[in-house]
A and B are shown apart, each in its own frame.
Chain A
Amino acid sequence: MGQRMKRRNMGKSKSVRALLGIGMFVGWLQTCFAADDSPKAAPINIFSPSSTPAIEISHLAVFVFCITGVVFAVVAGLLVLVIFRYRARKQDDPSEPPQVYGSNQIELAWTVIPVLIVVVLFLATARVIFAIQDAPKPASALDVTVTGHQFWWEFRYPKLGIVTANELHVPVSDPNHPTPTYLKLMSADVDHSFWVPELAGKTDLIPNRVNELWIDPLRTGVYLGQCAQFCGMEHAKMLIRVYVDTPDGFASWVNNQRQIGNQDSAAQAGRHVFETQSCINCHTVSGTVATGRFGPDLTHLMSRSTIASGIALNNEKNLHDWIKDPDHFKRGCLMPAMQLSDEQIDGIVAYLSTLR
């Protein structure tokens, strides 16, 4: 009996060590990741949420991880125990071990316990599903219509008369006077998915269908996300930037966006090129003849910090390269290279630079 106890203890300590090893491996991975931090943008993480839906989800996730973690520890511990305790040894006699065929009581026990775990998990989950999906929409909510395109995002603010692209501006939401943003999700072509992990889970944009998603960001800042449903060649380069502004900042952004396009005569030559080429078939600059809707609205292009759906910084050099050959940044995007001369492109860039 004593020897038997000793053997059992040995098995346990080994299983504990195996678990410790796994924990250390995970820790090591995390330090690898931490070393990866670059000053530019903090990497996103579903466990650093800034908006009620994402916070609810991360709390639920911690709960689920704990329960599954305990199940893992118990079952994996048993497996390790069995491996070390019942492995065949050289000194064993060659006879077969006692044959056991089963036991109904034991089967019943390990059916009932998982049933109980499922009930607990399901109830916790159902609460969060209804809390997020069926949350009543307050009158103070901001409406934005998001339309997915191959391979960029169109944002329309129907009540404010604003149209913009790729960079969504929303006001920060004070928990005492919530101003959540309700996104109406649609698609102009194929399926896309709107995913900004720190603000909410993802929801798909499906042609011929309207989906809804809401966020109420509690902290100002820039939140990164991207399309999460494979949508064709440049699916990888369809980034989302959400700017969460202070109420004043948001009001002044809205004020600027509601102006028509700059009518300054400074870049007349470039404006002439822009308006006499095919640019206007796809792009809009409000207050001009450019009323195309296939591409992003350019009325306030210079108020955005990136171009090509977050792939390149919005500066003169990148604009030049982009117009000269969009494939340079985004091979397979739907904007064609227009075979313009460098002077023509310089003119267009000069004109676009006035669109603040």
Chain B
Amino acid sequence: MADQIIAISGTLGATPTQKADATLLERIQSWVATVDHKRLGILYVVYSIFFLLVGGAEAICLRIQLAFPDNHFLEPGVFNRFFTMHGTTMVFLVGMPILFGFANYLIPLMIGARDMAFPRLNAFSFWLTAFGGLLLYFSFIGGFGLYGMGSAPDVGWFAYAPLTARAFSPGHSTDYWALALIVSGFGTLGTAINIIATILSMRCKGMTLLRMPLFAWLMLVVSGLTLITITPLTAAQIMLLIDRYLGGHFFDTQAGGSAVVWIHFFWIFGHPEVYVLVMPAFAIANEIIPVFSRKAIFGYPAMVGASICIAFVSVSVWAHHMFTVGMTSVSNAFFTLSTMLVGIPTGIKIFNWLATMWGGKIRFATPMLFCTAFLFQFLIAGLTGIMLSVSPLDWQLHNSYFVIAHFHYVLVGAVVLCIFAAIYYWYPKATGRMLSETLGKWHFWLFIIGFHITFDTMHFLGILGMPRSIYTYEPDRGWNTLNMIISIGGVIQGIAVLIFAYNLVWAYFRGRPAGNDPWDAWTLEWSTSSPPPEYNFATEPVVGSRRPLWDLKHPEDPDWRYEQ
């Protein structure tokens, strides 16, 4: 019983962060040279939000081009560059870094540690990721190589061989793409190792693996999955560069190489990557939904088990991106089945979230609004995923706007909505100020309306035979009105994101002071001051259950009495 005594420290002992009168240069230096997990986490998030705006602007340009048939807003080459950069940016410079940013900031706080296991590796990983992004965007200036030859990469974010061979992609744009992803990939691997080491060895007294917040659990699973997924991508990029510069023939079909091998490599990375992106979204929902429903998470062990199960199954489904490359009927059947199986643990998660909300007293503050919308969008995303796993149906819908709609439902409807939720939820912890609820609700409603106008409509275009990656279409194809609707929805989402960006800046200076625990939450990060001191906790906390602050607030009804 000794470890069930609640002793949360840090709350009373914490002194506010020293704000010495530093010069601007000293302040910049303190951010560049920092190894503090919280500062690195903020750097990750700020960096990703910057690229979210860039990638979003690219998407708006794409939608303006497609709003009308035979439009000339973007040249074909520029359109191809923009959709390549939009995809690459959103996956590698927004999705992964922002989720790792949250992990960086929150995991030590949630498990009662003072920093990550390897603080300097942490800083190194961030700067690798950051310079990877800059390298990718430098291609707009430096990618020419030969006069008139491309600038930014224009081979699609999937970069199917042999379009990436020097014969079809002269100049240096494809090299920038490969090198930038290798560099940021090493940064990602470093962070993943760091997260695993931190979670396994830095937990505070009393925090057994089954008492960890689900956020930490999911990040542990995601980091393990990252080690599996990023390595084949990095290997494939190196093979591609060998092909391009050292006379290799891995993907060189003119010399007996195989285009299909690239597709395998890419999707062995690419599909688990989807789960690398979406499981942190689950992690965020796992923290926010219970707090705003005022109930403990329903079925904690089932949630942990489902997450591990998803990670395992997700490495055996990659070829569902390849139903059209001419696999045998048996392979097609196998990957249909394995893909459908992912739906089962994912369904368990959705049901557990619903059961958590069931019987609660749900407070619909902005973070919870985003999480509720996430449940709805993710349900649809999962069901269209089941449709696409049906390989004969995929023969029709693959590479059509239906697929675009499906994965934007996952990546925007699940991942981006949870990112917004997380920012509204933890911004007070990181800055000490609340974001505006009024602006938050404007942001939420505009974004959701825009989202549905855009992505619901895209499903219909796929059914009407519009393929992805086309820069224009003829006016007699019957796609005009729907494309116009999609573009209008895109602009509405753009406005919502600008409101969000304004809210972030406004609240930093004018927001209401948050206090330590503005949401009346239960995990350890809310026991320390906002923003937390550099050392996080004055003394190491000791926890006795999954919700240490619940135990503290409800000594008459503590959790440790009920947890198995």
Contact = CB atoms under 8 A, between A and B. Distances in A.
On whether the two chains bind one another, the answer is: yes
Interface of A: 25, 29-30, 32-33, 35-38, 40-47, 53-54, 56-57, 60-61, 64-65, 68, 71-72, 75-76, 78-79, 82-83, 86-88, 92, 96-103, 106-107, 110-111, 114-115, 118, 121-122, 125-126, 128-130, 132-134, 150, 185, 189-191, 193, 195, 197, 200-204, 206-209, 211-212, 224-237, 311, 331-332
A134 B475 CA distance: 38
Interface stretch (B30-38, B199-207, B476-484): B476-484
B465 A121 contact: no
B364 to A, nearest CB: 6
Contact of A236 (B160, B380, B400, B473): B473
Contacts of B325: 204, 206, 211
A232 B173 CA distance: 14
Nearest to A132: B392
Interface stretch (B226-234, B328-336, B425-433, B495-503): B328-336
Given A87-B364, A96-B294, A228 B387 contact: no
B362 A126 contact: no
B460 A230 contact: no
A87 B154 CA distance: 48
Nearest to A57: B392
Interface string B155-197: 1100011110000100000000000000000000000000000
B295 interface: yes
A129 B472 contact: no
B77 interface: yes
B329 A133 contact: yes
B258 A208 contact: yes
A225 B485 CA distance: 23
Contacts of A203: 324, 326, 395
Nearest to B158: A230
15 contacts: A35-B481, A45-B465, A46-B396, A57-B396, A68-B383, A68-B386, A86-B362, A97-B361, A100-B359, A125-B336, A133-B329, A202-B399, A206-B325, A230-B156, A332-B77
Contacts of B328: 133
B77 to A, nearest CB: 6
Given A79-B379, A111-B348, A207-B253, A38 B332 contact: no
Contact of A100 (B256, B295, B397): B295
A207 B326 CA distance: 12
Contacts of B296: 99-101
B134 interface: no
B316 to A, nearest CB: 15
Contact of A232 (B168, B383, B457): B168
B160 A230 contact: yes
B459 to A, nearest CB: 10
A190 to B, nearest CB: 5
Nearest to A200: B395
A78 to B, nearest CB: 6
Contacts of B253: 206-208
Contacts of A60: 390, 392-393
A107 B470 contact: no
Identify the interface centre among B359, B390, B464: most chain A CB within 10 Å of its CB: B390
A98 B468 CA distance: 49
Nearest to A185: B326
B257 A92 contact: no
Given A86-B362, A236-B471, A230 B485 contact: no
B399 A193 contact: yes
B324 to A, nearest CB: 5
B298 interface: yes
B299 A103 contact: yes
A349 to B, nearest CB: 23
A107 B302 contact: yes
Contacts of A331: 75-77
Interface in B264-309: 293-296, 298-302
Contact of A38 (B258, B394, B475, B557): B475
